[in-house]
Amino acid sequence: MRTAYSVETVRAAERELMARLPEGALMQRAAAGLAVACGELLGRVYGTRVVLLVGSGDNGGDALYAGARLARRGAGVAVVLLSPERAHQGGLAALRAAGGRVSGDALRDIACADLVVDGIVGIGGRGGLRPEAAQLARAARESALVLAVDLPSGVDADSGEVRGEAVRADATVTFGAYKPGLLVDPARERAGALRLVDIGLTLPEEADVEALQHADVADLLPRPTAESDKYRRGVVGVVAGSARYPGAAVLAVAGALRGGAGAVRYVGPAADKVLAHFPETLVHPGPPDKAGRVQSWVIGPGIGDESDALAEVLAADVPVLVDADGLRFLTPRQVRERTAETLLTPHAGEAAALLGRGRDEVEAARMESVRELAAQYAATVLLKGSTTLVAGADGPVRVNPTGTSWLATAGSGDVLSGVTGSLLAAGLTARDAGSVGAYLHGLAARRAAGPGGAPILASEVADHLGAAWRNVTD
Ligand SMILES: NC(=O)C1=CN([C@@H]2O[C@H](COP(=O)(O)OP(=O)(O)OC[C@H]3O[C@@H](n4cnc5c(N)ncnc54)[C@H](OP(=O)(O)O)[C@@H]3O)[C@@H](O)[C@H]2O)[C@@H](O)CC1
Ligand SMILES: [K+]
């Protein structure tokens, strides 16, 4: 599991450790790790040109000490001081002693640099870059590799929000723990390749944000045993599609058949189309409460105005996943009254409608939005997007690390609903089903898109779910 911790938690852990170590020891650890990462990014150190952008805090201190190490190994190091009178004095002295110099012409030095190190601001930052820093960051981006110290300056460490301009880095070296913003867009996209330098912090067991990795997913995936039959493995009921949108039914069933449940029961008007594609489906014209037993329901993709079916499904005492059209008729009260789990899977536009705000506001503040929805509905919420998030009423927010922008294609959400609902039927909690479903779905899309990337169909994502599953468990 990759974990991330809020600034408050990281600061508390730092204080606790600093009290036990000689002054400056933590910064030296950070700087040593940073210098190694700079060397690796450059390929060689001797004879290279490095520019440090240094702000008024300890983030700049890290950059200065790392710069001193690089200068001692033969790099030409120039520092641009954004706030000369407040720069870290010890770091500046160390850089000078190692042969580094203060830049007299920032833009010219940046134009000749091989590497620009962004030590403008770290976890003490507020808001986007100030104008002078923004200009330097743009220049750096145009002419050199950019490595961010702890965080790309200008991004919010806790939420991943970018309010104004921010550095766009090729790589980010972060200290002690990943910060939530490094895993969540829009900030994640500014961070480039991530590297964690261990500085010896002791962190709480429960993280603020976590991202499943292959091994975590392999542990969570349902596995049939010798005693399993199709009913014991779970039956997922799918209420999807309509005369107008029969394809949504086919795609949701395509996902559900590959999500680990023993059987898929389709309920709705597109049974013929579903059977034509997947003869293994059990079908029923409805209503859902007459369709037979299921261990979970998926409702919503392409159902149009079928609000009666929604009320019936929500009245069932099994986990329910509500997606797409199903979200249009949902009230917080209906969900809060349920005893079994509910998983809502909106994209940003649907989340915005549920929250009564603009889509852009949700995109800009994804973490806050998903947490707020989960609290309002007392449900688990999977917010789809470039970094899909899964949040419950409490506990860490899960970030999906396997997403790809090729997934932004019609019908891919229907496939996700199906596979995730199937995992619910197989007995996973809503948090696990949501995060495992998103993980497999993302991997399947990457496989469908191929190594170089290419447009994909939602049905191809479904076709690759089996390969994604094997990829995780092999
Ligand atoms: N603690 C430790 O043990 C360790 C800490 N470590 C390192 O320290 C970093 C945290 O250092 P920090 O607390 O000094 O804050 P930091 O982020 O450098 O800057 C804050 C200053 O920036 C300014 N400022 C604010 N917003 C701004 C903006 N948008 N644009 C421009 N400037 C802005 C603001 O000053 P202002 O101008 O507002 O008065 C404020 O004073 C951390 O990220 C890690 O790298 C490592 O060495 C490991 C050990
Ligand atoms: K930084």
Could you identify the residue written with the tokens 């809502």?
Answer: 344
The pLDDT, as a whole number, for residue 113 is 98
The pLDDT, as a whole number, for residue 470 is 97
User: With a 6 A CB cut-off, is 65 part of the ligand 1 pocket?
Assistant: no
CA of 88 to the centre of ligand 2 (A): 14
Do 159 and 219 lie in one domain? The reply is no
Q: Indicate which residue's Cα is closest to atom 20 of ligand 1.
A: 124
- Residues of 278-295 as b/e, b for ≥16 C-beta within 10 angstroms? beebbbeebebeebeebb
Q: What does the alpha-carbon distance between residue 131 and residue 254 come to, in Å, rounded to a whole number?
A: 51
List the binding residues.
58-62, 118, 122-128, 150, 153, 248, 302, 347, 384-388, 413-414
Do 226 and 108 lie in one domain? The reply is no
Do 128 and 264 lie in one domain? The reply is no
Would you give the DSSP letter of residue 355? H
Do 189 and 220 lie in one domain? The reply is no
Range of the domain at 404: 214-473
Do 300 and 154 lie in one domain? The reply is no
- Kindly give the pairing relationship between strand 209-211 and strand 2-4: antiparallel
Do 108 and 142 lie in one domain? The reply is yes
Q: How far is CA 309 from CA 99, 240, 247, 281, 295, in A?
A: 74, 10, 19, 20, 17
User: With a 6 A CB cut-off, is 365 part of the ligand 1 pocket?
Assistant: no
Best mutation site among 18, 120, 121 for ligand 1 pocket (most ligand atoms within 8 Å of CB)? 121
Q: Which two tokens stand for residue 296?
A: 């979970």
Do 278 and 411 lie in one domain? The reply is yes
Q: Indicate which residue's Cα is closest to atom 44 of ligand 1.
A: 59
User: With a 6 A CB cut-off, is 24 part of the ligand 1 pocket?
Assistant: no
Do 19 and 135 lie in one domain? The reply is yes
The pLDDT, as a whole number, for residue 227 is 84
Do 45 and 194 lie in one domain? The reply is yes
The pLDDT, as a whole number, for residue 102 is 98
pLDDT along the chain (474 residues), means of 10: 97 96 96 98 98 98 98 98 97 98 98 98 96 97 97 97 96 98 95 97 97 98 88 94 95 97 96 98 95 97 92 97 96 96 98 97 96 97 96 96 93 98 97 98 97 96 98 94
Q: What does the alpha-carbon distance between residue 53 and residue 121 come to, in Å, rounded to a whole number?
A: 9
Q: What does the alpha-carbon distance between residue 103 and residue 357 come to, in Å, rounded to a whole number?
A: 46
The pLDDT, as a whole number, for residue 228 is 85
| CATH code of the domain in which 389 resides | 3.40.1190.20
- Please state, as a whole number, how many other Cβ atoms lie within 10 Å of the Cβ of residue 315: 13
CA angle 436/183/348 to nearest 5° reads 70
Ligand nearest to the CA of residue 148, numbered in listed order: 2
Number of domains into which the chain is organized: 2
Q: Which atom of ligand 1 is nearest to the CA of 15?
A: 3
CA of 109 to the centre of ligand 1 (A): 24
CA of 30 to the centre of ligand 1 (A): 14
| CATH code of the domain in which 156 resides | 3.40.50.10260
Do 323 and 358 lie in one domain? The reply is yes
Q: Indicate which residue's Cα is closest to atom 2 of ligand 1.
A: 14
The pLDDT, as a whole number, for residue 338 is 97
Do 192 and 292 lie in one domain? The reply is no
Domain limit, last residue, from 142, 175, 209: 209
Domain limit, last residue, from 144, 178, 209: 209
Q: What does the alpha-carbon distance between residue 225 and residue 211 come to, in Å, rounded to a whole number?
A: 28
CA angle 150/155/158 to nearest 5° reads 80
User: With a 6 A CB cut-off, is 287 part of the ligand 1 pocket?
Assistant: no
